[in-house]
Chains A and B, each alone.
Chain A
């Protein structure tokens, strides 16, 4: 017994070293005291480590080390000479090295290493992760070891053979380190328990198709009050189902995609390909959705969306197939999941629960749908206001936004017929000319359609009283607005699709009546409440 315990302690100690090393990387700070690596980068780094999907990133890193050693410099000065590991900082660092090595081309979006083979490109946005990986390598296998293994990359003529040799050496050393320090992942009992239940009720449906609204609700009703598994909250069960849907969908896509398998993976023996594993885990990352990306891009600088709106829209699963597969559960979670949270919080605090249970007469699901629709309509108005700001600043992103917000207006006014003997129906939005024409357009509510759109955008700008939109926007706000354009368009599109395609066509009054009864009864049982008294009153 004591030997088993000692072994357990030994294993835990090894794993603690790994945690401490990872924590060292993730807690490292920039000169201003802010984090050196973003949370997203830290999550990606942890994912690479746990999935052991480091082969490709280490190859990229090896190319990057060649570029960072350009001109006889030291790679450390590039990777750690910058304070914050951000795309912008790397862009500046590599711009300073431009021209120091004929085999390295510094471009607008990244660097290209002419390695004597096909050439290798790395974008600036990829570099923060590679920097975090290098820091982890240095802290885990040791600076001297990394420095020695990558010595061949500091020659100006380091080609693909040198890069591959260094990358393989780095892979071997990280493999050995993780074999020693990374414990096998624990099997997640909750997901497996839920899947067994789903199997019994799936009929001939398989994969994520087998998870339905009925199965989810039935599972919660059956297990919420038992000790067999932790399933007390509807939200917990919903989250389990959602994660399973995302994982099963991503796994099915990966499986069907015939992706090249890593050499050395024995699928027959049940080994999972690290690249597959990494791809599926990325699909589980809720922060990859359009809402999180928008908040990341311009959250503080430009309030395209405020926290309350973000919280409400956060109830909608926008980045995966959940709304398509279990649409009713999405609103059950938003309405009754929230009620249960308030109820259990009040009871935990020892307060008398004063939660108003939704009544079918309130049309609570339809009200929720209206809330989402109102918010996205407001976001569209803010985007229209941003169009005015970007137009006034002469930014090219104004065109992208205008085309997306008003695709059906008479844009051909900005076009010139192609001089190719065509019949005149084909027109070309000849980039620069059309852009300058659009940017020179004056707003006019009674003018042609682009002018009228701009008049509407100007009115929207004046009507918005949010950070980044007051008065004349400063250059930083305009930059943040421009950067946010793709994300805000993705968000609007995703919410509209979810509302119109997934949640719109259902018979919500029917669900409101049935669910008010089911959830009230369940909460009464779970929390020992008087069902009659609590179903209508506060």
Chain B
């Protein structure tokens, strides 16, 4: 069997490739966060991102970009960060699809009302609100059932998402 026999070359190349494929699948390799996890995070209000997945996402700019795209695409409403000139805290965000308002509670200054008003009465209401402060990860809030075109939540002012929603540098998605 000559060494340059094409059958032999193909057989050996296949054995080499098979060994490489097995090496790629060897257990113990560090793994990236799967897109299927990002998808569930984006669409399933009942799904919580586990600590390991959260760490993987925080360390993976490509996965973060995938999540950005996933959240923005087909969002009920996407509200980008506000103009550079904007300063102070935000009380109202508005798109053609929805209006978000933040209203401090008169009864308790430590609490804040988040109002969501849908401008398209026919549309299926969003179930989640995502907010990403400048340079930070996406934060998520599960929305309550809408009454007509409105929903309202009472947030503690010092929680991350309340602070983020008040920051003009935060981008927001309703899904």
* Residues of A bordering B, CB below 8 Å: 16, 18-28, 36, 42-43, 46-47, 49-51, 74, 76, 80-81, 135, 138-139, 142-144, 147, 183, 185-188, 191-192, 195, 198-199, 202, 206-207, 210, 243-244, 247-248, 250-252, 254-255, 267, 270, 272, 276-277, 280-281, 284
Contacts and interface: CB of A to CB of B under 8 A. Distances in A.
A80 B17 CA distance: 30
B10 interface: yes
A28 B17 CA distance: 24
B108 interface: no
A81 B36 CA distance: 9
B14 A251 contact: yes
Contacts of B5: 206-207
B7 to A, nearest CB: 5
A188 B29 contact: no
A237 to B, nearest CB: 15
Interface string B14-55: 111111111011100111111111011001000000000000
Contacts of A281: 14, 17-18, 21
Interface of B: 1, 5-22, 24-26, 29-37, 39-40, 43, 62-63, 65-66, 69-70, 73-74
Given A188-B12, A248-B7, A206 B1 contact: yes
Given A23-B30, A138-B35, A147-B73, 10 more contacts: A18-B24, A24-B31, A25-B34, A27-B31, A28-B36, A43-B21, A46-B22, A185-B13, A244-B11, A281-B14
SS of B interface (majority): helix
Contacts of A47: 17-18, 21
A186 B34 contact: no
A477 B150 CA distance: 50
A16 B30 contact: yes
A472 B69 CA distance: 52
Contacts of A210: 1
A143 B69 contact: yes
Contacts of B22: 46
A248 B11 contact: yes
A186 B35 contact: no
Contacts of A183: 20
B66 A144 contact: yes
26 contacts: A16-B29, A19-B24, A20-B31, A24-B32, A26-B25, A28-B36, A36-B34, A36-B36, A43-B21, A46-B24, A47-B21, A49-B21, A74-B74, A76-B39, A80-B39, A139-B34, A185-B20, A191-B12, A195-B1, A198-B1, A206-B5, A244-B15, A247-B11, A247-B14, A251-B11, A272-B13
